[in-house]
Amino acid sequence: MTPSLEPGPARLSRRHALAGAVGGLCCATSTSAGAGGSAPHDHDAAAHEAGGGALATPASAARKIDIYNHVLPLPYLELVKQSYQDPGMVKRMTSIRMLWDMDARVEMLSQWPELQQVLTLSNPPPEALFGPDDSPMAARVANDGLAAICTANSAKFPAFVAALPMNNVPAALKEMDRAIGDLGAQGIEIKTNVNGRPLDDPEFLPIFERATRVHGVPIWMHPIRSASFSDYAAEPKSRYEIWQVMGWPYETTAAMARIVFSGMLDRLPAMRIVTHHCGGMLPFFGGRAETLWAQLGSRTADEDYSRILKDLKRPFMDYFRMFYGDTVLGGSSSALRCGLDFFGPDHVVFASDCPFDPEGGPMFIREGIRSIEELHLPDSVRQKIYVENALQLLKPHPATEQIAGG
């Protein structure tokens, strides 16, 4: 049975309460941050706004929302240990204490009393653990665990993002409704592919439509690729962990391109997607992307791409700038400068990727803050990156559609 027509008062109050907790603890929001469906940035103006300027407030005094970091609730970690078929990743996940020991995590975070974290589920996602019959159970376990962590320590973890069983779309829609309506999730997380299938596969469109039109929540997009994705056709697997270090930024870029050229952002102009690692390869290769994709179809003989650019409602690069990029760049201020120039200051959000750093938690937070401060941005731009853009994303948007059901 499909869920009821619209979330009732109890459901709405839980979600709005969490959004209010984020806003109240972090400071009042600004209405200047752009929504995903707003007019694209003027590139030169955005770059000028994010230019050099005096710092009005020390970094240690400014409120910060870490919008992309990872946890594994203990019940979900048990499912990973029992069922995941990648022993290398099981080794990785079980060895990082602050991924699943929330007491240790909170103690570590005490170094930054001004910092809050919006929690997302770490890899592997439910669809990588189980087939379509059992992945919905794994998603429920994950979301119940994420909600429990937020309830236990709402000062540090005021909100979470729902995991979905993407290999079972009807169940994913039901779990989205439950996680947002009953548990208070502030968005959903998807991976850049679903067990090797692209996100623009029509089967997945209802998930994007439900998140955007019914719930009005943003979508966090995380890269996924394993060692089985070889670097060379003649080899059976990727070596030297290239699949993750360099493969993941490519995954993000490829997923963005599929979303753009398939016309999904024309169909869902209000859709807001947060890309991990500041849009992957795209900001650095923006010039290449613009000049070579302007010739889309000139290198292809077995498919007809002649209508793709003509049928888009905007210049194609405008769509890429509708995405949001987070600041997870290993502490590189020059890479962040590139991301700011590409997305503009209204579409860059502070994030840490905690706890996946060589220190197991604090390093990416510390170095991420340093990378922002080294750019000597105007205080208004820093405030957008640290707080205001996140609050705009987390603010509930009105539904434009209701859930059909009965």
At 134-158, the pLDDT tens digits run 999 999 999 999 999 999 999 999 9
Residue that wins the pLDDT comparison between 40 and 163: 163
Residue 285 CA to its chain's centroid (Å): 21
Residue that wins the pLDDT comparison between 376 and 20: 376
Within-domain flag for 25: no
Which residue in 89, 149, 96 sits closest to 118, CA to CA?
149
Within-domain flag for 263: yes
> In CATH, what number is assigned to the domain containing residue 324?
3.20.20.140
| Owning domain of residue 172 | 45-394
pLDDT of 59 strictly over 80: no
Within-domain flag for 313: yes
Lowest average pLDDT, out of 45-49, 57-61, 62-66, 143-147, goes to 45-49
pLDDT of 217 strictly over 90: yes
- Report CA-CA distances (Å) from 33 to 37, 102, 280, 385: 12, 32, 22, 10
Lowest average pLDDT, out of 44-53, 90-99, 254-263, goes to 44-53
pLDDT of res. 400: 80
Lowest average pLDDT, out of 22-31, 58-67, 191-200, 397-406, goes to 22-31
Q: What is the DSSP letter of 40?
A: P
pLDDT of 1 strictly over 50: no
- Report CA-CA distances (Å) from 203 to 168, 169, 199, 200: 10, 7, 9, 8
Within-domain flag for 30: no
In sequence order, the β-bridge partners of residue 36 are: none
Q: pLDDT > 70: what percent of the chain?
A: 84
Please, which pLDDT band fits residue 85 given cuts at 50, 70 and 90? confident
Mean pLDDT computed over 107-117: 97
Lowest average pLDDT, out of 19-23, 292-296, 402-406, goes to 19-23
DSSP string across 72-116: --HHHHHHHHHH-S-HHHHHHHHH-GGGT-HHHHHHHHTT-TTEE
Total structural domains within the chain: 1
pLDDT of res. 183: 98
For residues 394 and 116, is the Cβ–Cβ distance under 8 A?
no
Mean pLDDT computed over 195-203: 97
Within-domain flag for 403: no
Backbone phi, psi, residue 116, to 5°: -125, 155
Both tokens of 137, joined, read: 């159970």
pLDDT of res. 405: 56
pLDDT of res. 396: 75
Residue 43 CA to its chain's centroid (Å): 23
Mean pLDDT computed over 366-385: 97
pLDDT of 232 strictly over 80: yes
The mean of the pLDDT values for the chain is: 88
pLDDT of res. 52: 40
User: In this structure, are strands 197-198 and 193-194 parallel, antiparallel, or unpaired?
Assistant: antiparallel
Both tokens of 340, joined, read: 């700011």
pLDDT of res. 113: 96
For residues 388 and 33, is the Cβ–Cβ distance under 8 A?
yes
Residue partners of 404: CB distance under 8 A and separation at least 6:
2, 5
pTM exceeds 0.85: yes
